[in-house]
Amino acid sequence: MSTSTVTVTGMTCGHCASSVREEISTLDGVTNVAVDVASGQVTIDSSAPLERDAIRSAVQEAGYQLAE
Protein backbone atom coordinates (compact mmCIF):
# COMPACT_ATOMS: atom_id res chain seq x y z
CA MET A 1 0.00 0.00 0.00
CA SER A 2 1.25 3.47 -0.90
CA THR A 3 -0.07 6.95 -0.12
CA SER A 4 0.71 10.05 -2.16
CA THR A 5 -0.30 13.62 -1.35
CA VAL A 6 -0.31 16.36 -3.96
CA THR A 7 -1.63 19.90 -4.10
CA VAL A 8 -3.97 20.84 -6.93
CA THR A 9 -4.58 24.48 -7.85
CA GLY A 10 -7.81 25.97 -9.14
CA MET A 11 -10.38 23.83 -7.33
CA THR A 12 -13.20 25.92 -5.84
CA CYS A 13 -16.16 23.59 -5.27
CA GLY A 14 -17.41 20.05 -4.85
CA HIS A 15 -17.76 19.61 -8.60
CA CYS A 16 -14.05 20.46 -8.99
CA ALA A 17 -13.15 17.88 -6.35
CA SER A 18 -15.36 15.28 -8.02
CA SER A 19 -13.69 15.84 -11.41
CA VAL A 20 -10.21 15.46 -9.93
CA ARG A 21 -11.24 12.40 -7.88
CA GLU A 22 -12.80 10.75 -10.94
CA GLU A 23 -9.74 11.22 -13.17
CA ILE A 24 -7.20 10.10 -10.55
CA SER A 25 -9.35 7.06 -9.74
CA THR A 26 -8.79 5.79 -13.30
CA LEU A 27 -5.05 5.31 -12.66
CA ASP A 28 -3.96 1.69 -12.24
CA GLY A 29 -3.83 0.58 -8.62
CA VAL A 30 -5.66 3.55 -7.09
CA THR A 31 -7.88 2.40 -4.22
CA ASN A 32 -9.00 5.72 -2.70
CA VAL A 33 -8.82 9.44 -3.46
CA ALA A 34 -9.59 12.08 -0.80
CA VAL A 35 -9.86 15.72 -1.89
CA ASP A 36 -9.85 18.78 0.40
CA VAL A 37 -11.03 21.70 -1.75
CA ALA A 38 -10.11 24.37 0.81
CA SER A 39 -6.42 23.41 0.94
CA GLY A 40 -6.17 21.84 -2.50
CA GLN A 41 -4.71 18.71 -0.90
CA VAL A 42 -5.39 15.42 -2.66
CA THR A 43 -4.45 12.20 -0.88
CA ILE A 44 -4.22 9.11 -3.06
CA ASP A 45 -4.05 5.55 -1.74
CA SER A 46 -2.77 2.96 -4.20
CA SER A 47 -1.51 -0.60 -4.28
CA ALA A 48 1.90 0.60 -5.52
CA PRO A 49 3.67 3.99 -5.73
CA LEU A 50 2.34 6.21 -8.53
CA GLU A 51 4.45 8.18 -10.98
CA ARG A 52 4.05 11.93 -10.44
CA ASP A 53 3.68 12.39 -14.21
CA ALA A 54 0.70 10.01 -14.22
CA ILE A 55 -0.95 11.99 -11.41
CA ARG A 56 -0.17 15.26 -13.22
CA SER A 57 -1.75 13.97 -16.45
CA ALA A 58 -4.91 12.86 -14.63
CA VAL A 59 -5.21 16.24 -12.87
CA GLN A 60 -4.71 18.08 -16.17
CA GLU A 61 -7.35 15.88 -17.83
CA ALA A 62 -9.76 17.10 -15.13
CA GLY A 63 -8.84 20.70 -16.04
CA TYR A 64 -6.54 21.58 -13.13
CA GLN A 65 -2.84 21.83 -12.37
CA LEU A 66 -0.50 20.38 -9.77
CA ALA A 67 1.19 22.98 -7.58
CA GLU A 68 4.93 22.58 -8.02
pLDDT tens for each residue of 21-57:
999 999 999 999 999 999 999 999 999 999 999 999 9
Cβ(36)–Cβ(15) under 8 Å? no
Whether 10 shows a pLDDT value over 90: the answer reads yes
Structure confidence at residue 14 (pLDDT):
95
Query: Which residue, among 6, 4, 35, has the nearest Cα to 22 in the 3D structure?
Result: 35
Sequence letter at residue 67? A
Answer whether 0.85 is exceeded by the pTM: yes
Which range of residues forms the domain containing residue 29? 2-66
- The total domain count for the chain is 1
Sequence letter at residue 51? E
Structure confidence at residue 68 (pLDDT):
76
The residue-averaged pLDDT of 12-20 equals 96
For residues 11 and 25, give the distance between their C-alpha atoms in angstroms, rounded to a whole number.
17
CATH number (domain holding residue 52): 3.30.70.100
